[in-house]
Amino acid sequence: MRVRVATALGLTAITVLALPACSTETTEAKPASTSSPRSGKPATADQNDAPLSSTALEERLLDVSDLGSGYTRKPERPAQHDDVTVLGCPALNDLGGAAATGDSLDFPRQAKATFTYNGGSNSEVSEELYSDTAGKLSDGTGQIFDAMTGCPEYQVLVGGTAIDMATQKMTTPQLGDERWSQLLTFSAGGHNTVVKQTAVRDGSVLLIISGSPALVDRHLDKALAKATAAR
């Protein structure tokens, strides 16, 4: 059965890495009950965790001075809202409706930046920041990511292009209140591209780092520290 989706992180992969894809990640949270995929600090309202504006988030993005020499910020591309057809992912079929379109990650308070390292098309790293109440961030991301954990292999159709997807759960440092990380392999036209995506929710801020696995690992801590400073 086919289900048409346009997930937020899938569109990130399109705009950042020039590969159409529906991303999948698995959740890992601070140790608590093993029966729950999301734990850590309760996602409840806190006066000190009020959502930040898009302007405030923009100021918390990494810049070339944070990353070091060899990085160039890429111009932002127009937002893309292409539908994506997913084959072989029953969990996405079960989502249905607005949830399957990725709308629950379309938080209005957001900021994004993409950087190229030494000009290499395969050496890019993208940062996205979102802000909302802790509960909304947790529920919105968790609903989609939980469904996608059951899809280690599937196929994505964008226009006339078929992309074979493989995913592998990755462990993450004990950062923030909730975290997700996945290694994605895009296969099309005889070429494979490996992309790592790591997301961390800390209070009312959600950070997503995508791109070359080495660059994601190198800059995750710094990105989270800057994103959550002086809240």
Q: CA–CA separation, 193 vs 185, rounded Å?
A: 6
Tokens of 140: 């919105």
Which tokens hold the place of 14? 């399109």
Q: What percent of the chain has pLDDT over 70?
A: 64
In a domain, 95, yes or no: yes
Q: Can you tell me the mean pLDDT for 219-225?
A: 96
Give tens-digit pLDDT for 8-57.
Answer: 344 344 333 433 333 333 444 333 322 234 444 545 545 457 899 999 99
Q: Is residue 2 scored above 60 in pLDDT? A: no
Facing residues of 153 across strands?
Answer: 166
Radius of gyration of the chain (CA): 17
Q: Which domain holds residue 163?
A: 2-29+44-227
Does 34 map to a domain? no
Q: How many domains does the chain have?
A: 1
Q: Which CATH number goes with the domain that contains 85?
A: 3.40.1000.70
Residue 178 forms part of a structural domain: yes
Q: Using CA atoms, how far apart are residues 177 and 86, in angstroms rounded to an integer?
A: 30
Residue 140 lies in a domain: yes
- pLDDT at 11 (0 to 100): 36
Of residues 194 and 151, more confidently modeled = 194
Q: What is the pLDDT of residue 25?
A: 39
Per-residue pLDDT tens digits for 165-208: 888 888 888 999 999 888 888 898 888 889 888 889 999 999 98
38 within some domain: no
Give a yes or no: residue 82 inside a domain.
Answer: yes
- Give CA–CA dist 147/158, Å, rounded: 21
Please name the residues in contact with 141: beta carbons below 8 A apart, sequence gap of 6 or more. Answer: 104, 105, 178, 180, 199, 201, 206
Given this model, what pLDDT does residue 109 score?
93
Question: How confident is the model at residue 141, as a pLDDT?
Answer: 76
Integer Cα distance of 228 and 123 in angstroms: 26
Which residue, among 205, 185, 201, has the nearest Cα to 193 in the 3D structure?
Answer: 185
